[in-house]
Amino acid sequence: MTTVDPPGTVRLAVLPPLALYVHIPWCVRKCPYCAFNSHEVLGTSHERTRELPEQEYVAALIADLEGSLPSVWGRRITSVFIGGGTPSLFSPESIDALLSAVRARIVLEPDAEITMEANPGTVEAGRFRGYREAGVNRISLGIQSFDDAELKALGRIHGADEARRAIEIAQAAFDDVNLDLMYGLPGQTLATARADIEEGARFGTAHLSAYQLTIEPNTVFHSRPPELPGHDLAADMQQMVEETLAASGFQHYETSAFARPGRRCRHNLNSWQFGDYLGIGAGAHGKVSFPDRVTRHERIKAPRDYLAVGAEYRERVVAPAELPFEFMLNALRLVEGFALELFAARTGQVLARIERQLASAEAKGLLQRDWQRICPTRHGRLFLNELLGEFLADQKNVRGSQSTIAGT
């Protein structure tokens, strides 16, 4: 006799790969467009920090990790991403202390990708060698633009020459370098956007991310919006970015991510494939699966509170009805989409559950599929919100259970 699982049952035969995200929440200056949990080191906000509490924060991160270990017992970490904020404000010694503590507490795969974000205004050759010696093997540089006027309009702490020097210093110490660029900037033309992308590509890095500037709530740009390129020009810029990078040998593999063959960011790819990740640090988010449920957790956001209270976090079980949408929110960002079996592997549900939504998105030309894969069409990538909206339908009034858990 065949047994049928009741609706809402989650059964994961194998747990997904597990990554580690570490958040460092400070920057020299807050950029007016940035909605990330980042606070000025010497700013005027209530989060003002006269001196960076580096050692205290590393100790808090380690305690945070220790508090999370019971939820991932016996599992290995496949990649680490130290993001921010500006992690390169921390000394190599602090990064070394952090990574040594991670290795002492949980098994890191021997070939784990370990990325650290850096701001060109904080780059120095000796420090970069120190990060490499600490175990970092990939650097992600926030370049944004090679145009001094555009960098100024973005409130960046560095100019174009400093950005160029930072890339050379990073490339001297690391084989694996990513450049973050933005387009659709205040005052930008198609020609200046092209010049930025072409110059970024010429450095020959393994990876390049090109984000269209978005105006986020709770930012200076939100309260005082700059004049941005119109919709049509922004769409032309997007097409130019894709064509220019393809001609330079980059594969476009996610909405904003481009890589040389074999050089995709393994950490981000795991998130887009709805893998698991522990998130430690102020405001960090995470996702951890168990054989019968998928959970999400979130740390206290304000650095001062995080340091004072410790690794207390909110955890919720994702309602099974939300899982298909959450899966699609990530997997449909991937240009090549996902293998059919990945849906069941990550959500613990059969793909047939969302057949109606798949068929509807396919009929609208937003999605295509064969017997192996499902992927967004070019139209679906351009109108991703419309495509994702197809999978929202089922979830009205469904929320996971929430609880507050005090870690160590």
Ligand X SMILES: C[S@@+](CC[C@H](N)C(=O)[O-])C[C@H]1O[C@@H](n2cnc3c(N)ncnc32)[C@H](O)[C@@H]1O
Q: Which residues bind ligand SF4 (CB under 6 A)?
A: 27, 30-31, 34, 36, 38, 84-86, 119, 142
Closer residue to ligand X, CB minimum distance, 47 or 180: 180
For 349-357, the CB contacts below 8 A with 24+ separation are 349/9, 349/10, 349/320, 349/323, 349/324, 353/324, 354/324, 354/391, 354/394, 357/324, 357/390, 357/391, 357/393, 357/394
Residue 85 CB, nearest approach to ligand SF4 (Å): 5
Backbone angles phi, psi at 383, to 5 degrees: -120, 55
Q: Check if the beta carbon of residue 25 is closer than 8 Å to that of residue 86.
A: no
Rounded to whole angstroms, the Cα distance separating 210 from 401 reads 37
Rounded to whole angstroms, the Cα distance separating 145 from 163 reads 8
Query: Is residue 237 a contact residue for ligand X (CB under 6 A)?
Result: no
Q: Where are the beta strands (DSSP E) in 206-321?
A: 207-212, 251-254, 257-259, 276-280, 285-290, 293-299, 312-317
Contacting ligand X (CB under 6 A), which of 211, 305, 389, 392? 211
Residue 310 CB, nearest approach to ligand X (Å): 24
Q: Check if the beta carbon of residue 376 is closer than 8 Å to that of residue 384.
A: yes
Residue 199 CB, nearest approach to ligand SF4 (Å): 20
Closer residue to ligand SF4, CB minimum distance, 216 or 243: 216
Closer residue to ligand X, CB minimum distance, 71 or 115: 115
Residue 141 CB, nearest approach to ligand SF4 (Å): 11
Query: Is residue 216 a contact residue for ligand X (CB under 6 A)?
Result: yes
- Residue 273's binding partner out of ligand SF4, ligand X, none, with CB under 5 to 8 Å set by partner kind: none
Closer residue to ligand SF4, CB minimum distance, 31 or 77: 31
Q: Which of 77, 69, 65 has the alpha carbon at shortest distance from 107?
A: 77
Q: Locate 339 and state its tokens.
A: 């293998």
Question: Within 137-196, which residues bind ligand X (CB under 6 A)?
Answer: 142, 144, 180, 182
- What percent of the residues of the chain are helix, what percent strand, and what percent coil, each to the nearest 5? 40, 25, 35
CA 308 to each of CA 61, 236, 311: distance values in angstroms, whole numbers, following the listed order: 12, 48, 9
Query: Is residue 391 a contact residue for ligand X (CB under 6 A)?
Result: no
Closer residue to ligand SF4, CB minimum distance, 157 or 382: 157
SS3 391: coil
Neighbours of 300 (CB within 10 A): 19
- Residue 216's binding partner out of ligand X, ligand SF4, none, with CB under 5 to 8 Å set by partner kind: ligand X
- Residue 383's binding partner out of ligand X, ligand SF4, none, with CB under 5 to 8 Å set by partner kind: none
Query: Is residue 84 a contact residue for ligand X (CB under 6 A)?
Result: yes
Contacting ligand X (CB under 6 A), which of 37, 119, 270, 295? 119
Query: Is residue 117 a contact residue for ligand X (CB under 6 A)?
Result: yes
Rounded to whole angstroms, the Cα distance separating 264 from 316 reads 31
Residue 140 CB, nearest approach to ligand X (Å): 7
Closer residue to ligand SF4, CB minimum distance, 12 or 154: 154
Closer residue to ligand SF4, CB minimum distance, 86 or 273: 86
* Number of residues this chain uses to bind ligand X (CB under 6 A): 16
Q: What is the DSSP string of 42-58?
A: T-SSTT--SS--HHHHH
Residue 36 CB, nearest approach to ligand SF4 (Å): 5
Q: Which residue is nearest to ligand X (CB)?
A: 142
Q: Which residues on neighbouring strands pair with residue 117, listed in sequence order? A: 140
Closer residue to ligand X, CB minimum distance, 33 or 306: 33
Q: Check if the beta carbon of residue 63 is closer than 8 Å to that of residue 311.
A: yes
Question: Within 311-330, which residues bind ligand X (CB under 6 A)?
Answer: none
Residue 395 CB, nearest approach to ligand X (Å): 27
Rounded to whole angstroms, the Cα distance separating 257 from 203 reads 16
Q: Provide the edge-to-edge strand list for the sheet that holds 373-376.
A: 338-339, 373-376, 367-369
First to last CA, the chain: 47
- Residue 366's binding partner out of ligand SF4, ligand X, none, with CB under 5 to 8 Å set by partner kind: none
- Residue 30's binding partner out of ligand X, ligand SF4, none, with CB under 5 to 8 Å set by partner kind: ligand SF4
Question: Within 19-48, which residues bind ligand X (CB under 6 A)?
Answer: 33-34, 36
Closer residue to ligand SF4, CB minimum distance, 119 or 270: 119
Q: Which positions lie near ligand X, rule CB under 6 A?
A: 33-34, 36, 83-84, 86, 117, 119, 142, 144, 180, 182, 211, 213-214, 216
